[in-house]
Amino acid sequence: MVIKIVEMIVSPILAFVIGVFFLGLSRKIMARIHRRYGPPITQPIIDMIKLFYQKSVSHGILFDLGVVLSLTGSVVVILFIPFGGMCPLSGSGGLLAILYLMLLAPLGMALSGGEGANPNISIGISRKFILSLGYEVPFLFVILAIMTHYKTISIVEIVRAQQGLHWSIFSLPLLLSAIAYFIILPAILGIRPFDIVSAPQEIASGPMVEYGGKYLAFASIDHALHLFIGIALFVDLFLGGAREPITFFIKMLVVFIIGLFINAVFPRFRIEQAIKFLWKWPTFFAFLGLIVALVVR
């Protein structure tokens, strides 16, 4: 019991530290690809501390609650994700709970955006939901294929079944699902070529446009946690998770850096092109993966 409580406190903090480290690392690696030096890896932390000291402007009670809801959603999802042998809420729900709870973050964002009353926010939010529609379909297929293959909805069981290099990415039915998930991963994380929601050059950062001071700091924390969730889920579902945090972290790092390289060499999709793409290739692979998983079972 005490261990569970300690895990509950430690795992969000660990997720935050890793997410922020990834944010800093991404700035450094992107800078090197751009042929410049880039800021220190601690820059996101420095920014957040600075933002907490700044004056923040609220646009009403829902504006505040939306930010909190968004952050809560992310923290709760983290409690369900096994992280190197640590999973505080392993007994309950598993994958299905994660699926539901992952919707909390965009909802919170929409809630506070509605109160912000900036046209850029409304456009950003509508883009967010259209994009979710695009990637949730293949995502659902992927999850279904995995649940069919391992005959369980518990993510802990799935990780356990993959122990000893029996990773799902090495089994044929789930390889297709892994490809599909990897293609939609940038859309889930909101990075290029799917950074349509924030799109600074089009809608001035979209939902983030009215955030300043503490709100922006919370949004950055949320972003860091979101980065952790998307990649950790991939590692757990396809790369066999890990028994100790270090291995898990290294696996996450590999996935993240590959994603970063994709981020560096692509411009941004237009929203309808993104939907067209997402409903074509990833959905095709995910659906095929589901069929194969059903047949092979």
Partner 1 sequence: MDERELELFFGPQHMGMVGNFSITLKVRGDRVVEARANPGYLHRGFAKMMEYRVWIQNFPLVCRINVMDPDPYELIYAMGVEELAGIEVPERAKYIRTIVMELSRLASHLAWIWAYGNALGFDTIGQWSMGDRDYIIDLLEFLTGGRIYHIYIWPGGVRRDLPDGFEEKTLKILDTLEGHLPEYDDVFFNNRLFVTRARGVAKITKEEAIELGATGQVLRATGVKMDIRKLEPYAAYPYLDFEIPVREDGDSYSRMMLIREEMDQSISIIRQCFKKMPKGPVYHRVPNPFKWKVPKGETYVRMESARGELGLYMVSTGEDKPYRVHFRPPSLPHGILILEKLLKGASIADVGHIMMSLYIAAPEVDR
Q: Is residue 144 a contact point for partner 1 (CB under 8 A)?
A: no
Q: Which stretch binds partner 1 (CB under 8 A): 197-205, 228-236, 244-252, 289-297?
A: 197-205
Q: Can you tell me the distance from the alpha carbon of 120 to that of 117, in angstroms, rounded to the nearest whole number?
A: 9
Q: Is residue 119 a contact point for partner 1 (CB under 8 A)?
A: yes
**Whether the Cβ atoms of residue 95 and residue 82 lie closer than 8 Å to each other:** no
Q: Can you tell me the distance from the alpha carbon of 70 to that of 72, in angstroms, rounded to the nearest whole number?
A: 5
In the DSSP assignment, the letter for residue 170 is G
Among 264, 279, 281, 291, binds partner 1 (CB under 8 A): 264
- Residue 81: CB atoms within 10 A of its CB come to 24
Q: Is residue 202 a contact point for partner 1 (CB under 8 A)?
A: yes
Among 59, 128, 192, 214, binds partner 1 (CB under 8 A): 192
Q: Is residue 223 a contact point for partner 1 (CB under 8 A)?
A: no
**Whether the Cβ atoms of residue 264 and residue 30 lie closer than 8 Å to each other:** yes
Q: Is residue 280 a contact point for partner 1 (CB under 8 A)?
A: no
Among 52, 243, 273, 280, binds partner 1 (CB under 8 A): 273
Q: Is residue 37 a contact point for partner 1 (CB under 8 A)?
A: no
Please tell me whether residue 246 adopts helix, strand or coil conformation. Answer: helix
CB of 200 to partner 1, least distance (A): 4
Among 50, 243, 270, 280, binds partner 1 (CB under 8 A): 270
Q: Is residue 201 a contact point for partner 1 (CB under 8 A)?
A: yes
Among 23, 78, 123, 232, binds partner 1 (CB under 8 A): 123
Measuring CA to CA, which residue among 16, 183, 152, 13 is closest to residue 90? 152
Q: Can you tell me the distance from the alpha carbon of 26 to that of 260, in angstroms, rounded to the nearest whole number?
A: 7
What string of H, E and C letters represents the secondary structure of 223-262? HHHHHHHHHHHHHHHHCCCCCCHHHHHHHHHHHHHHHHHH
Nearer Cβ to partner 1 (112/120): 120
The radius of gyration computed from the CA coordinates of the chain, to the nearest angstrom, equals 19
CB of 126 to partner 1, least distance (A): 5
Task: Using CB under 8 A, list all residues that contact partner 1.
Answer: 30, 33-36, 119-120, 122-123, 126, 192-193, 195-196, 199-205, 264-273
